[in-house]
Amino acid sequence: MEIIFPSPGFSKAYVALITFGVMFLIPSIVLVAILFGIYWADLSSKIVLVLFSIPWGIFAIAMFFIFANYIGKILANTRLEINQQKISLSQEILGVRIYEQNSNPRQDINKLERIKRHIKLSSLPDYAPDYLGSIYESEIIIWAGESKYRISISLVSEHELDWLVTELNDWLGLPIDQA
């Protein structure tokens, strides 16, 4: 059984990021002009221009990593593979595997767990009245020995998780533990 979860695609957050990135490019052009101007400036001006360009350079590097992370999320697919020999969960960008969780032998699969979205209330003392507890999102956890293979609500909808857990139940022959 091989299940491929496609990337979520664009959302409002990605559109905002792209808009922010374009707005960032305009001042960056000014920064490049300043850096080229450093070559012809006198020494006192060079010091001021270099000091002015350091925060912009740090900001440019940070924006590059943030933008690369979001582009990776837009293009990444998640693949769950369960065959007669093993179970594995990996992430791919444009068909190239970028991350693969350690695979386990199929015979190690011992538990199928379905967790519905819930809030676990905390019993904290009176000095922390605003803390209500933790929110647990919907997910399926396939246990293989001590390893967990998670399929979360960020990949598919609630109804698809329900359908998928029944299919995995039929295919693996394991009972579903509801949590």
Residue 39 CB contacts under 8 Å (≥ 6 apart), including other chains: none
Rg (CA), the chain: 24
Which of 81, 101, 121 delimits the end of a domain? 101
Pairing outcome for strands 109-115 and 176-178: parallel
Are 92 and 114 members of one domain?
no
Per-residue pLDDT tens over the stretch 1-60: 888 888 877 667 667 777 777 777 776 777 777 777 777 777 777 777 778 778 877 877
Per-residue pLDDT tens over the stretch 65-76: 877 777 777 788
Are 85 and 115 members of one domain?
no
Which of 46, 72, 101 delimits the end of a domain? 101
Are 28 and 112 members of one domain?
no
Residue 128 pLDDT more than 70?
no
Are 5 and 68 members of one domain?
yes
CA distances from 125 to 129, 130, 134, 138 (A): 8, 11, 16, 28
Determine the structural domain holding residue 135 and report its residue range. Answer: 104-178
Which of 101, 119, 152 delimits the end of a domain? 101
Per-residue pLDDT tens over the stretch 83-119: 889 989 888 888 788 888 888 888 888 999 998 887 7
